[in-house]
A and B are shown apart, each in its own frame.
Chain A
Amino acid sequence: MGKRVLITGLATFWGGLAAKALEADPGVDVIIGLDTREPTIELERTEYVRTDENYSILSRIVRAAQIDTIVHTFLVVDSTMMRAKTMHEINVIGTMNLFAAASQAGSTVRDVVVKSSTYVYGAAKEDPVWFDELTPRSHSPRRRVERSLDAVEGYVRDFAIDNPHVNVTMLRFSNVLGPDIVTPVSRALELPLVPKLAGFDPRFQFVHEDDVIRAMLFVLAEGLPGIYNVAGDGLLPWTEVAKICGKRTIALPPYGASWAAVPLRMFGVELPDELLDLLRYGRGADNRRLKEAGFRYSYTSAGAVEAFIEATRLRTNVGSTQPTYRYERDVEQFFRHSPAVVRDHES
């Protein structure tokens, strides 16, 4: 019997890509995607279920569809996307409810993959250059996205302890760059002048978006439990990142930078506090644990930056190369359930 997968955050960048990647896997029988919004990319056989952001109907879905695998991608890492309260609802309350549903009596869930972030390590002057999966943070988290992810990881740990028969994998992704993803870092690098903090040139690490998806599929296929950093090889000074992008930098005052970032917001430049911390101290995540498990990256940190900027250049020249897609419930229902449709993956 194939896998029966539930994906949270189907309409998010990662949820959609994960669903698409899993659709190509013949070992996956059923894919159910939850989200508050409609999917943003075209999907073949994934079933979309609309929920509220804290998944009140989740336990019914898990039971009814006999879900055995949960891919929890609906975790907000970009704090500029929404208000603090919404982020708390999605990340903390959502995860809490998700695990409550997954750990109810008679639950069929056997594999859980959670997409966390290296933001849980923070960025401080006391930090080591490399964080491995067991290195503690230097200070308790102050930034709201870090606090939020910290609470999420707490629930994941509790769930793993309470359910030793479930393979729980937590992937901590470093800053993601690539052709399609938009993050505060990618927006900063697309500005005519790349902001930096005067006098600071910390080292950054990146992971290519393809490697993010590949890592998720890899741990699912291998059934690897535990925590893994997912980050490309190498640390690059921020000015070198700008140089690879062919950009010049503009210096913000090193003190009171979060105040200096306020007027920038009016021009659509969002530099959240957690990014300002990175622009001051940088961060490295030791990626050897996942490599030792057999994962092979397809991009280094510098390679991810280059892939990002090449795609950006292409886009500025010819516009978006992605086909636009709008979810139509009736059409999607027809393709999935009408007897008139010949479905080759069943043959």
Chain B
Amino acid sequence: MSPSEPEEAHEAARVEAAIAETAAALAHVAELADETASLVHVPRTETDDEPLPDPRRSDVDEWGRSEHMRSIARRMYQPVYERWFRATWEGLEHIPTDGGALLVANHAAAVPSDAPVIMHGIETELERPVYGLADQLFKSLPVVGTYWARLGGVVAHPDNAYRLLREQNQLVLVFPEGSKGPGKTWNQRYRLRRFGRGGFVEIAMRAGVPVIPIAVMGAEESMPIVWKSSLAAKATGLPYFPVTANQLVFGPVLGAVAYFPAKFKLRVLPPITFDVPPDQDRYSKSRIMDEAEKVREQIQSALYDMLRERRSVWFG
């Protein structure tokens, strides 16, 4: 093709020879090091599996999370977390500082306020990322879906959860009640809904990670639903279409985004491990349902416990 090609080939050969020479010299030094143990240890480099050049321009990971965006969000959210909700934790030591774990919490408020509080709290306290599993509805919303993913939201698919937990040893947050938790009206507050079909237990079993229950108090009062329109829900394709107390107080628009300053208290319960081997094709369905129910009961009774101690919705 180009006339300079033989030259280039020659040049390449020379470079290669030089590299080979250097490598030989290095190997010799390494040998010497082994013999005398007086020189600095030179790690042998594997030339075969050198990483490929990867000219990335952002820090968005395979799940869509960006630590850069997340840190900006943390800075913006800190006053809300600290001053508005005044979140306090109990039992944070139950969350491991490394290794995968499935965090399971109760879910509430028309626009759930618990997910950001939990994710923010753990990321600032333990300095490790939390991925929040959520309904695929988020992914289909323009703008919201993109920010949701950048801030650690992942579609609640068993394959996603398995990969995050088992292969990448991450913390994953899930709300087994799904939209039934936030979608309940004011008079049903702190009464946990069905924990799905126990899928979260099966994932934890398959991934071989503990389930760590978290009881969240305060979210229910931050944006309670006074009335739901099933007709509007059907028309918009949303799981529920609420009128919130916030909207009655702040007006329909501001009320859709402004929370009441309910005091947040979070209690992390001891990890639950399942005595089953990971990576099985099937797990006993009845065992899964039993375990899921046990987790639900634990969170429910922890909540009753916390509510018994609570003197004020706003001051804890």
In chain B, positions 51-100 with a C-beta closer than 8 Å to chain A are: 52-58, 60, 62-64
Is the beta-carbon distance between A240 and B58 smaller than 8 angstroms? yes
Stretch touching chain B among A27-35, A95-103, A295-303: A295-303
Q: Which listed residue, B52, B62, B136, B144, touches A203 by the CB 8 Å rule?
A: B62
| Chain B min CB distance to A157 (Å) | 22
Please classify the interface of chain A as helix (H, G, I), strand (E, B), loop, or mixed, using the class held by over half of its residues: loop
Is the beta-carbon distance between B54 and A203 smaller than 8 angstroms? no
How far, in whole Å, are A140 and B56 apart by their CA atoms in the complex? 34
How far, in whole Å, are A305 and B136 apart by their CA atoms in the complex? 29
Sample (24) of A-B pairs whose CB atoms are under 8 Å apart: A125-B137, A125-B139, A125-B140, A126-B157, A127-B157, A128-B155, A129-B154, A129-B155, A129-B159, A130-B163, A199-B145, A199-B146, A201-B146, A203-B64, A237-B64, A240-B57, A240-B60, A281-B139, A281-B140, A284-B62, A299-B52, A300-B52, A300-B54, A302-B57
Q: Which listed residue, A128, A299, A303, touches B160 by the CB 8 Å rule?
A: A128
Q: Residue A315 at the B interface, CB < 8 A?
A: no
Interface size class of B (residues with CB under 8 A): 20 to 34
Q: Which listed residue, A199, A237, A244, touches B55 by the CB 8 Å rule?
A: A244
How far, in whole Å, are A240 and B53 apart by their CA atoms in the complex? 16
A233/B146 contact (C-beta < 8 A), A126-B157, A128-B157, A130-B163 known: no
Is the beta-carbon distance between B159 and A135 smaller than 8 angstroms? yes
| Chain A min CB distance to B147 (Å) | 9
B136 nearest in chain A by CB position? A125
Contacts of A13 in B (CB 8 A): none
Q: Residue A225 at the B interface, CB < 8 A?
A: no
Interface residues in chain A, defined as those with a beta carbon under 8 Å from any beta carbon in chain B: 125-130, 132, 135, 197-201, 203, 233-237, 240, 243-244, 254, 280-281, 284, 297-300, 302-303, 305-306
Contacts of B155 in A (CB 8 A): 125-129
Contacts of A303 in B (CB 8 A): 52-55
Contacts of A302 in B (CB 8 A): 54-57
Q: Residue B143 at the A interface, CB < 8 A?
A: yes
How far, in whole Å, are A281 and B142 apart by their CA atoms in the complex? 11
A198/B139 contact (C-beta < 8 A), A236-B60, A299-B52 known: no
Q: How many A-B residue pairs have CB under 8 A?
A: 87
| Chain A min CB distance to B266 (Å) | 28
Contacts of A243 in B (CB 8 A): 57-58
How far, in whole Å, are A53 and B33 apart by their CA atoms in the complex? 67
How far, in whole Å, are A198 and B160 apart by their CA atoms in the complex? 26
A297/B52 contact (C-beta < 8 A), A128-B160, A129-B62 known: yes
B66 nearest in chain A by CB position? A237
A284 nearest in chain B by CB position? B62
Please classify the interface of chain B as helix (H, G, I), strand (E, B), loop, or mixed, using the class held by over half of its residues: loop
Contacts of B159 in A (CB 8 A): 128-130, 132, 135
Q: Mark B131-166, 1 if CB is under 8 A from A, else 0.
A: 000001101111111100000001101111001000
| Chain B min CB distance to A135 (Å) | 7
Is the beta-carbon distance between B52 and A233 smaller than 8 angstroms? yes
Known: A125-B137, A234-B62, A300-B53. 9 other contacts (CB 8 A): A125-B136, A130-B159, A130-B163, A199-B145, A203-B62, A233-B54, A280-B140, A303-B55, A305-B55
How far, in whole Å, are A198 and B154 apart by their CA atoms in the complex? 20
How far, in whole Å, are A236 and B59 apart by their CA atoms in the complex? 9
A235/B62 contact (C-beta < 8 A), A126-B136, A126-B155, A199-B145 known: yes
Q: What 3 A-B pairs come out closest when comparing CB atoms? A: A199-B142, A128-B159, A199-B143
A300 nearest in chain B by CB position? B54
Contacts of A236 in B (CB 8 A): 56, 58, 60
Contacts of B142 in A (CB 8 A): 197-200, 254
B162 nearest in chain A by CB position? A128
B139 nearest in chain A by CB position? A125
A132 nearest in chain B by CB position? B159
Q: Which listed residue, A198, A200, A244, A281, touches B57 by the CB 8 Å rule?
A: A244
Contacts of A199 in B (CB 8 A): 141-146
| Chain A min CB distance to B207 (Å) | 14
How far, in whole Å, are A115 and B213 apart by their CA atoms in the complex? 47
| Chain A min CB distance to B303 (Å) | 31
| Chain B min CB distance to A171 (Å) | 20
Is the beta-carbon distance between B145 and A200 smaller than 8 angstroms? yes
How far, in whole Å, are A298 and B52 apart by their CA atoms in the complex? 7
A124 nearest in chain B by CB position? B136
| Chain A min CB distance to B3 (Å) | 14
How far, in whole Å, are A297 and B60 apart by their CA atoms in the complex? 22
| Chain B min CB distance to A315 (Å) | 15
Contacts of B137 in A (CB 8 A): 125
| Chain A min CB distance to B2 (Å) | 9
How far, in whole Å, are A132 and B155 apart by their CA atoms in the complex? 17
Contacts of A297 in B (CB 8 A): 52
Most buried by B among A125, A130, A233: A125
How far, in whole Å, are A254 and B144 apart by their CA atoms in the complex? 13
A235 nearest in chain B by CB position? B62
A255 nearest in chain B by CB position? B142
How far, in whole Å, are A195 and B157 apart by their CA atoms in the complex? 29
How far, in whole Å, are A127 and B159 apart by their CA atoms in the complex? 9
Contacts of A300 in B (CB 8 A): 52-54
| Chain A min CB distance to B235 (Å) | 16
Contacts of B52 in A (CB 8 A): 233, 297-300, 303
A131 nearest in chain B by CB position? B159
| Chain B min CB distance to A212 (Å) | 16
| Chain A min CB distance to B42 (Å) | 26
In chain B, positions 148-190 with a C-beta closer than 8 Å to chain A are: 154-155, 157-160, 163
Is the beta-carbon distance between A203 and B60 smaller than 8 angstroms? yes
Contacts of A254 in B (CB 8 A): 142
| Chain B min CB distance to A318 (Å) | 12
| Chain A min CB distance to B312 (Å) | 40
